[in-house]
Structure 1
Amino acid sequence: MRRSAVAALAAVLLLPLSACANDAATSAHGAAAPAGRQVDGPKVKIMVGGLDKVIYLPAMLTQRLGYFADAGVNVELLTEPAGVNATTALLAGDVQGAVGFYDHTIDLQAKGKHVESVVQFAQAPGEVELVSTKQADAIKSGAEFKGRKLGVTSIGSSTDFLTKYLAVKNGASVSDFSPIAVGAGQTFVAALQQGSIDAGMTTDPTVANVLDKGLGKVLYDMRTPEGSRQALGGLYPSSSLYMSTEWVEKNKDTTQKLANAFVKTLKWMSTHSPEEIAAQMPADYAQGGPAQYAAAIKSTLPMFTTDGVMPADGPRTVLAVLAAFHPDVQGKEGTIDLSRTYTTEFVGKATG
C-alpha cells in the first residue's frame, strides 16, 4: 500500500516533465547478465526509458559487452516506454538507478527532491524535428509553427517543451500551434503518413525510418553538439544514469562499479564503427534492417560523451530551456543549485 501510494505521488509530481525520447520501447521486460556470466557482487536494478532507443544505447550495450560483470556488479535492466516512468520507479524505490534525460534532476530539485546524474552519456538531446515532406516548403523554421499540428511524444513531455522552446525562440507563441500526442516509433510514422501532424519531434531509429520512407525532412537536428548549440543555444546534456543522492552517498562502492562499467562502454563506442556497435545489440532492435539501424546509430553517435563527464555549460542550458516553459521550474532559477544535479566524482575515478 505504501509503495503504491509513493508511486502514485511520484507520477503526479512528474506529470509536467515526461519522456524526452520517442522510439517505442522493446517488448522485453528487462535484461539480466549475459548467459553464463555469474556475477558475485551487489545487485542493482536500473530502469531505462526504452531499452531499444539509440539515445539510451549504452545501457544495453554495457550488458551485452559484459562490462557490468567485469566491474563486479549484478545489474538487471528493466524497460519502460518513457523516461518519466523510469523516474517514477526510481522515486518509488523499485529500482536503484534510472537511465533517462538529465533534465529530470533539475525538475525534481524544484520539487524538493534530490536526484543526480552519475554518468552523463550524452551532451545533446538526440532529438530531431521532422517536417512532413508535403509541408517542407511551408515550414522552414519555428516561426512557421503557427497554425500547425506538431507531433510530440505526449503532452507535457520533454519533446513537448523543446518544441515550445523552438517556437518561442523563433518568434512564435506556444498558443500558436497544436501539440499532438502521437507516441513513438510506428505511431509517429503513421501520424506523418496520414497527415495527422505537419511536423514532429522524435529520435533514431524512427528518424532513419521516416527519412528512408521519404515521409519527412529534417528541420532541426539536435543529434550533435553543433545542432544542439544552433537550436537551443548551447549543449543540452540528455541521456544519463541518474540516482537518488541519498542512495549514492550510502552506496559509493557500488556506484563506482556502475561508473566503471558505463565509462568503459562509452570509450568502447568511441573506438568502434556503427556497424560493430549494431552487431552487439539484440537483433530485434533493428526493425528497419541492419543497414538502417547502423545508419541510425551513426547519426546519433556524436551526441555521446567518451568519458561520462557532464559538459561544463550544459546544465545552464537545460535550466534556461526548462525555465522558459516548465511550471515547476519557471521563476525558481535562482534557487536551483545545479552543482547538486550531477556529480563527476565517480566518472573521474572510473577505471574503464
Structure 2
Amino acid sequence: MRKTARYSALAAAGLLALSSLTACANDAASTTADSGSNGGGGKGEHVKIMVGGLDKVIYMPAMLTQRLGYFNDEGLNVELLSEPAGVQAETALVSGQVQGAVGFYDHTLDLQTKGKAVESVVQFSHAPGEVEIVSNKRADDITSPKDFKGKKLGVTGLGSSTDFLTKYLAVKNGVKVSEFAPVAVGAGPTFVSALQKGAIDGGMTTDPTVATVLQKGLGKVLIDMRTPSGSQEALGGPYPSSSLYMQTDWVNGHKETVQKLANAFVKTLKWMSTHSASEIAAKMPADYSQGNKTLYATAIQSTLPMFTKDGVMPADGPETVEKVLKAFNPNIKNAKVDLSKTYTTEFVKKAVTG
C-alpha cells in the first residue's frame, strides 16, 4: 500500500494512531486528490483539510464534495487527509498542519476552555450519526447505559466525540465515568475485530462500521443517534456533530477562501438531499464499499437523516452540546463558554442565498 510523504511526516510527529486503518484512508484521500477532474488537480488555492475518518459516512460530505468537483468549481485545490479519530484531526488543526478539520462541533467548545479560538463554519449535521453497539455475547448483560458499569466500551479515540457521548450516556444513567473502561479501537476493521475478539463489550461507532457489525451478526444496536429523533431521545435535543471547523484567526484572515469552501459544501449538502443512497454511494471511492456496494448504500441510507440541507447550525444545537459536555467534562462544567464564538453562519447563509 502506498504511503504519502505527508503520512510519513505526520506519523513521525506522533499524531497518528491505528496506522493500518489510517494508511488505507490516507491512500484513498491522496489518490482522489490527484485524480484530475474529480479531485484537486493541482490548480487553484491549496487548502489542507484533516478529516476524522474519510471513509466514515458521517464525514461523507468531505470526499463527496471532492468527487463531485465542487472544490474545483470554486477554484480551490483541496487536499483531504485522514485520521482515525476526530480528536487527532483537532490536533492537526490546532498545530497548524492543516487549515481546516472535518470533525464534531463539540471540539470547538472543548478548545475554547483551553484558550483556543476555533469555530464551525459549515455544519453538516443536526444529529450525531453515532450508534452504541453491544456485542451479541453481552447483549443480555447490557440492555441500557445503566449497565455500562464494569464494561469495556469501544471509542474511536480517547478525548474523541465518541468518548464524550459515551461518558454522557453513562453519567445520565447513573454510571460514573470512573466505573467503566473506554477503549480506543478506531473504526472499521479495528472496531469489528475488537468486538469479535471480546476486547470490548460494546462501543460507539458509525456507518459503515455499524452495517458491517450487523451484517456479520456480531452485535446489536443499543442506542441509535443517526436521526434527529434519535438525538432528541438520547441527548434531549438536536446535536450538531460533523462539521468543517477552522481556527477563528484563519477564518477572519481568509474570508474569500472560507466562502468558497462554504459554497462547495452547501452545494454538496443540497445534492445529497435530492439523490438516493445508491446514487451517493456510486460517487464515492470504490474501496469505501469494501466489496459490498449494497451494504454500503444501506449504511448511507441509515445515516442520511443526520445531515442538514444548508450547512446552517440548528437552533438550540449548541446549547444541547454544552449540556452534554458539562455533564462529565470538568473543564467545561466549571467554565463559561461563549457559544456565539464556537460557530458562524456568515458563510453558509451567503451560500444559501447566493
> How far does residue 85 in structure 1 lie from its aligned partner after superposition?
2.1
CA RMSD of aligned residues (A): 2.4
Retained in 1: the 8 A contact 2:240–2:314? yes
Distance, in Å, in 2 between the alignment partners of 1:232 and 1:136 is: 22
Determine the structure 1 residue equivalent to 2:82. 79
Distance, in Å, in 2 between the alignment partners of 1:184 and 1:288 is: 17
Q: Does structure 1 residue 210 correspond to structure 2 residue 209?
A: no
Determine the structure 2 residue equivalent to 1:251. 254
Determine the structure 2 residue equivalent to 1:143. 146
Retained in 1: the 8 A contact 2:92–2:98? yes
> How far does residue 81 in structure 1 lie from its aligned partner after superposition?
1.8
Deviations 1:260-297 (A, max 9, x none): 00000000000000000000000011115101100000
Q: Please, which of 318, 326, 339 is the counterpart of residue 321 of structure 2?
A: 318
Shift of the 60–187 alpha-carbon distance from structure 1 to 2, 3 Å rule, reads same
Q: Which has the higher helix share?
A: 2
Retained in 1: the 8 A contact 2:87–2:159? no
> How far does residue 43 in structure 1 lie from its aligned partner after superposition?
2.1
Q: Please, which of 24, 42, 48 is the counterpart of residue 45 of structure 2?
A: 42
Determine the structure 2 residue equivalent to 1:291. 294
Structure 1, unaligned runs of 5 or more: 1-6, 13-17
Determine the structure 1 residue equivalent to 2:338. 337
Q: Does structure 1 residue 280 correspond to structure 2 residue 283?
A: yes
Q: Please, which of 120, 130, 145 is the counterpart of residue 133 of structure 2?
A: 130
Determine the structure 1 residue equivalent to 2:25. 26
Residue 199 of structure 2: SS of its match in structure 1?
coil
> How far does residue 142 in structure 1 lie from its aligned partner after superposition?
0.8
Determine the structure 1 residue equivalent to 2:244. 241
Retained in 2: the 8 A contact 1:11–1:88? no
What is the number of residues matched between the two proteins? 335
Q: Identical aligned pairs, as a percentage?
A: 70
Q: Does structure 1 residue 63 correspond to structure 2 residue 62?
A: no
> How far does residue 57 in structure 1 lie from its aligned partner after superposition?
0.4
For residues 154-165 of structure 1, the aligned pairs below 5 Å read: 154-165=157-168
> How far does residue 102 in structure 1 lie from its aligned partner after superposition?
0.6
> How far does residue 11 in structure 1 lie from its aligned partner after superposition?
9.0
Distance, in Å, in 1 between the alignment partners of 2:183 and 2:46 is: 40
> How far does residue 330 in structure 1 lie from its aligned partner after superposition?
2.0
Determine the structure 2 residue equivalent to 1:88. 91
Distance, in Å, in 2 between the alignment partners of 1:107 and 1:189 is: 29
Deviations 1:212-249 (A, max 9, x none): 01111100001111111111111111110111111111
Determine the structure 1 residue equivalent to 2:174. 171
Retained in 2: the 8 A contact 1:149–1:199? yes
Amino acid aligned to 1:26: A
Q: Runs ≥4 in structure 1, deviation > 4 angstroms?
A: 36-40
Retained in 2: the 8 A contact 1:33–1:66? no
Determine the structure 2 residue equivalent to 1:270. 273
Distance, in Å, in 1 between the alignment partners of 2:73 and 2:166 is: 41
